[in-house]
Structure 1
Amino acid sequence: MPEDNLPKSSKKIRVITNVLTQALKLWLRSQVSQISQLEVEIRASDRQILSGCIPWVSVFASHAVYQGLHITRIQLVAENIQINIGSVLKGQPLRLLETVSVFGDLSVEEKDLNNSLSSELLSTALNDVLLKLLPEHSAKSKPISWQKITLDKNQVIISGMLTPTIEAQQLDIYLCLELHNSQELQLSQIQVIENAIPLLEGNDSYNLHLGSDIDIEELTLIPGKLECRGQINVNP
């Protein structure tokens, strides 16, 4: 049916849905510094939208950069979202009124992970991992310049340089990465090597807690790619 022949109620909900979709896209774009593709689908009735409740939203994005982290592909689904619909219809920014549980599939290729090494979030996380593996390393007071991450089957190789030093000092970390439970990652079969000298080599394992707002169902590490499926709470 041509749009001109639609009932007034259908036209009204189409306008509201379009306004809301564009507002959501603008809000999502404001959260990232770069994005290649962004698709948003909203499923809701006019009564639900006008009450500020969105029962179901799907978001797909590719090659997005969030706080310096390069994400190859991400598919998100959220339900029962409460928003400031009155303000949105007046042209104001979209805002969440309540915490939203978001289910998602995330894929990060090795090249994008390496492009993220300059981000504060990833470099801080790698420093925390090193400190957990080698607590005595903090006493050396040598900053790490992380150079490369290699993804293999269930294994991660992290390479960096100790700075500042008179001569280059290479640091390599080898570890197996698995999901211990929905909120913890397990590091095992760990080796830490500095200039070909082993600093740590043993069968001990370490768990990294990801936070109470994260619930991971599946983590897959294959050569050149990291894939993850789970849920995260997005707070207002």
Structure 2
Amino acid sequence: MSSPDARGNGPVMQLLASGLQLWIRQQCQAIGSLDIQLEGSALQLLRGRLTGVQLLARRVVYRDLHLELVELRSGPIQVHIGNLLKGHPLQLEHAFQIQGQVSFTPDGLTRSLSAPIWRSLGDNLSEELLGIAPLVELRMHRDSLVFTARGLGARDLVELETSVAAVEGSVEIRSRAGNVSSRLPMDPGITIEDARLEGGMLQLLGIARVSV
């Protein structure tokens, strides 16, 4: 279920809320639930400007990343309101910045790193941290993220408890013993400001630039 909300509840804001909701869904492979709230006035919107958007989504699949929870807030957005009023799809004028948090369950992480597009990343992490690949599974144990792998032709699983931290705009995964670590490659448009294991999930907080 989705519930777009626009402060002031005017018809133009409602139209934009629905158009923005559709645009967000088109960017994702799947969304379980989506709630958005627009910030700004109808007068600003008629001038092609929106102060910002708050978004809360659950069970999102984006580029084969399985996200349990997405909480985002955007900066100012330029919109082409004329075409929207004529019944055309929403068009955003320029790139804009978002900040917020995404959360992965262990199962979501495993499914993400099992997808063809991310499998090499999962295996590289496994190789760097455990010395073997492929990666089999990730799970949470207390306040640790546990990597599980099995070498090719081997019968026994190898496990390693790790912690996570934000380091230089990326996510660093380090063994609890501190003797091995690996840092995730990051898109230049994304900066991770905090990474933590909390509530049975991996939570990443940061900022990103969205191209249109």
TM-score interval (norm. to shorter): 0.7 to 0.9
**1:21-170 equivalent positions in 2, closer than 5 A:** 21-130=17-126, 132=128, 144=134, 146-162=135-151, 167-169=153-155
Partner of 1:17: 13
Which runs of no fewer than 5 residues in structure 1 stay unpaired? 1-10, 138-142, 192-201
Q: Evaluate the alpha carbon distance shift between residue 84 and residue 153 of structure 1 in structure 2; reply closer, same or farther with a 3 A threshold.
A: farther
Q: Evaluate the alpha carbon distance shift between residue 221 and residue 86 of structure 1 in structure 2; reply closer, same or farther with a 3 A threshold.
A: same
CA offset digits 1:163-182 (Å, max 9, x no partner): 5xxx4555635252332435
Q: Evaluate the alpha carbon distance shift between residue 228 and residue 114 of structure 1 in structure 2; reply closer, same or farther with a 3 A threshold.
A: same
Which runs of no fewer than 5 residues in structure 2 stay unpaired? 1-7
The Cα shift of 1:222 comes to 3.8
Partner of 1:3: none
Q: Evaluate the alpha carbon distance shift between residue 170 and residue 23 of structure 1 in structure 2; reply closer, same or farther with a 3 A threshold.
A: farther
Q: Evaluate the alpha carbon distance shift between residue 32 and residue 109 of structure 1 in structure 2; reply closer, same or farther with a 3 A threshold.
A: same
My pick for the range that moved more, 174-183 or 98-107, is 174-183
Q: Evaluate the alpha carbon distance shift between residue 148 and residue 206 of structure 1 in structure 2; reply closer, same or farther with a 3 A threshold.
A: closer
Question: What is the SS of the residue equivalent to 2:31?
Answer: coil
Task: Determine if the alignment matches structure 1 residue 186 to structure 2 residue 182.
Answer: no
Q: CA RMSD in A?
A: 2.9
**Using the alignment, how far apart are the partners of 1:128 and 1:159 within structure 2?**
13
**Using the alignment, how far apart are the partners of 1:208 and 1:63 within structure 2?**
23
TM-score normalised per structure 1: 0.73
TM-score normalised per structure 2: 0.80
| 8 Å contact from structure 2 (residues 169, 193) kept in 1 | no
The number of residues matched between the two structures is 205
The Cα shift of 1:60 comes to 0.8
Amino acid at match of 2:183: N
The Cα shift of 1:73 comes to 1.1
The Cα shift of 1:151 comes to 2.2
The Cα shift of 1:97 comes to 2.2
* Aligned match for 1:214, one of 184, 190, 193: 190
**Using the alignment, how far apart are the partners of 2:33 and 2:154 within structure 1?**
41
Task: Determine if the alignment matches structure 1 residue 225 to structure 2 residue 211.
Answer: no
My pick for the range that moved more, 173-182 or 226-235, is 173-182
**Using the alignment, how far apart are the partners of 2:121 and 2:206 within structure 1?**
20
**Using the alignment, how far apart are the partners of 2:46 and 2:130 within structure 1?**
55
